[in-house]
Structure 1
Amino acid sequence: MVSVEGIVVDPHKVDAVLKWESPTSVTEIRSFLGLTGYYQRFIQRCSQIASPLTRLTRKDQPYVWTNKCELAFQELKRKLMFAPVLVIPNPRLPYVVYTDASLKGLGCISMQDE
């Protein structure tokens, strides 16, 4: 949401993410990863963070919720609760520009390490 104070996350959505309990099945993991996938362009290293959860969705993979899974889940929840910061990148620091072009438009995101 954009307001006078700047870019903020919708409080109702933050509350829903905050109350999201650790998944207890592959279906619940897929649901959570679906949400993070929608916002992955705003989460730096999203797929790397989610890899312990993604592994549990593989066929013939036993469902064992490990400490790595819990840490990944909590990290993704934390990243979903804050709006991305829109700033001009520092030209003295390295950054990556991700682009997506089609015949109907162009989009890009600049990601700079903190």
Structure 2
Amino acid sequence: SAPILALPEGSKDFIVYCDASKKGLGAVLMQKEKVISYASCQLKIHEKNYTTHDLELDAVVFALKI
């Protein structure tokens, strides 16, 4: 089943979780332990050659761009 998304509360802090694998990038925006938004994408051909450090950094950039 699909997760139920919550509406954000303007005065509360947000937390961004992101992760990378050899197949793709993922990110979740949360507030008070509730999912506000999530996104993922597959790696491009050239990104599959990135080191683990660069993939994790790519995941952070991806998360902050959305």
TM-score, structure 2 length as denominator?
0.33
Which protein is richer in strand relative to its size?
2
Rg (Cα) greater in structure: 1
TM-score, length of structure 1 as denominator length: 0.22
**Where is the helix percentage greater, Structure 1 or Structure 2?**
1
Which one has more relative contact order, counting CA pairs under 8 Å at least 6 apart? 2
